[in-house]
């Protein structure tokens, strides 16, 4: 069951730097009905003169708690994201509509259908919610994550992802990074852009019938969707979420 | 104008329908493709959204949020089926 979406008043209870360009924001929402992993909210800002702007942000958390976690990347000269990353302060209030979306979501799965997660940059936010929900539920569904990101400093949810990598147990998510600009020492491959060949190597093959989630900038998602099709994945086995950007 | 997909319509559509309309299936009246609304190609300009068929690019629906009003025009879809 998906909770009914409505506007809520949210109060910023904490902020943390996530990367040099991104920030994690915790919002307290007393009447929040809870949300599923992968859902998002619409955040609405109102200026003193009444001008309003709203943008969608994925929720990095899930469950029944009356609070949600967002992670916002600064888009240079953007209208909303620089404000959220640089100016918003603990105690500030925002209007938030949600929980939203019912298709780009994952629930603990009694059938244990394998899941391939593919994230580009900040597109990892709803994917991180899925990784965390999988761990919280002690679900044994095989999950694999391919995370394409510029440099090691740009990785979101580092501690959550390191915890998966460090866990030898059968339920840990297998994480592969593709660093486009700079790879850390000892990385399995040098820095370079994601290619179709690499994608084919690092994602579960169609023969395993995975459900695939792809999220990131629109050009990233569209490139990956094209390659997945060429690799033999059925379009309706792939769930995509485009964040925008040229 | 941003190129997105039907997931972004979840908020605006929640103002006119209960339940998650982005999980609804609909058929494109132009080419017959059946997809969930989340799979549509969406062009967003502020609070104006145009959803197009992923297969033939015809307009499926438009939705405009202006203040407290939401205007939905569904000219390009049929057999709109909400999960219950
Ligand atoms: C369903 C959904 C979930 C999202 N979740 C997140 C999230 O969890 N974290 C997050 O940081 N963002 C997320 N986004 C993107 C977010 O909604 C905004 O688009 C983003 O913050 C930019 O807003 P802005 O007002 O700063 O820029 P705008 O003023 O809207 O845009 C300014 C310029 O930047 C370009 N631009 C816009 N968005 C991007 C982008 N993503 N990448 C590169 N260039 C861009 C535009 O083409 C435009 O030219 C999500 C988007 C959607 C649709
Ligand atoms: Zn069509």
Whether A1 is covered by a domain: the verdict is no
Residue A223 parent element (H or E)? helix A218-230
In angstroms, the CA B2 to CA B51 distance is 12
Whether A199 is covered by a domain: the verdict is yes
- Dihedral of CA A218/A221/A227/A228: which sign? negative
User: According to the model, what pLDDT value does residue A229 have?
Assistant: 97
Whether A105 is covered by a domain: the verdict is no
User: According to the model, what pLDDT value does residue B24 have?
Assistant: 97
* Domain end marker among A44, A76, A100: A100
A80 lines ligand 1 (CB under 6 A): yes
- B30-84 per-position pLDDT tens digit: 999 999 999 999 999 999 999 999 999 999 999 999 878 999 999 999 999 998 7
Name the residue ranges covered by the structural domains of chain B.
2-79
Q: Domain of residue A20: give its range.
A: 6-100
User: According to the model, what pLDDT value does residue A212 have?
Assistant: 98
In angstroms, the CA A223 to CA A116 distance is 16
Pick B11's closest partner by Cβ from A4, A97, A218.
A97
Do A77 and A126 reside in the same domain of the chain?
no
pTM of the model: 0.97
Domain containing residue A140: CATH number:
3.40.50.80
Q: In chain A, which stretches have pLDDT less than 70?
A: 1
Do A87 and A42 reside in the same domain of the chain?
yes
Whether A145 is covered by a domain: the verdict is yes
Domain containing residue A32: CATH number:
2.40.30.10
User: According to the model, what pLDDT value does residue A116 have?
Assistant: 98
- A147-195 per-position pLDDT tens digit: 999 999 999 999 999 999 999 988 899 999 999 999 999 999 999 999 9
User: According to the model, what pLDDT value does residue B83 have?
Assistant: 82
A19 lines ligand 1 (CB under 6 A): no
Name the residues around ion ligand 2, CB cutoff 5 A: B 28, 30-31, 33, 53, 55-56
Domain count, chain A: 2
User: According to the model, what pLDDT value does residue A246 have?
Assistant: 73
């Amino acid at each position: 069951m998906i909770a009914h979406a409505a506007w809520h008043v949210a109060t910023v209870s904490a902020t943390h730097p996530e990367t040099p360009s991104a920030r994690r924001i915790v919002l307290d929402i007393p009447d929040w009905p809870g949300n599923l992993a992968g859902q998002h909210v619409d955040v609405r800002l109102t200026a003193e003169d009444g001008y309003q702007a709203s943008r969608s942000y994925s929720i990095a958390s899930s469950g029944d708690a009356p609070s949600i976690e967002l992670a916002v990347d600064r888009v240079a000269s953007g209208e909303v994201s620089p404000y959220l990353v640089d100016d918003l302060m603990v105690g500030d209030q925002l209007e938030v509509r949600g929980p939203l979306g019912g298709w780009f979501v994952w629930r603990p799965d009694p059938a244990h259908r394998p899941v391939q997660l593919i994230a580009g940059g900040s597109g990892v936010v709803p994917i991180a919610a899925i990784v965390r929900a999988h761990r919280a539920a002690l679900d044994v569904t095989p999950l694999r994550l391919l995370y394409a990101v510029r440099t090691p400093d740009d990785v979101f949810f580092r501690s959550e992802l390191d915890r998966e990598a460090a866990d030898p147990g059968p339920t840990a998510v297998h994480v592969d990074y593709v660093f486009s600009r700079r790879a850390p020492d000892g990385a399995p491959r040098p820095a370079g852009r994601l290619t179709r060949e690499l994608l084919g190597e690092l994602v579960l093959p169609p023969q395993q019938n995975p459900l695939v989630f792809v999220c990131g900038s629109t050009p990233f998602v569209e490139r990956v969707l094209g390659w997945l099709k060429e690799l033999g994945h059925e379009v309706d086995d792939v769930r995509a979420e485009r964040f925008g950007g040229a | 104008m941003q190129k997105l997909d039907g997931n972004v319509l979840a908020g605006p559509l929640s103002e006119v329908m209960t339940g998650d309309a982005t999980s609804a299936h609909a058929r494109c009246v132009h080419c017959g493709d059946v997809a969930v609304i989340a799979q549509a190609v969406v062009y967003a300009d502020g609070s104006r959204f145009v959803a197009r068929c992923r297969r033939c690019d015809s307009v499926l629906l438009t939705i405009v949020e202006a203040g407290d009003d939401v205007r939905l025009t569904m000219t390009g879809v049929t057999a709109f089926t909400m999960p219950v």
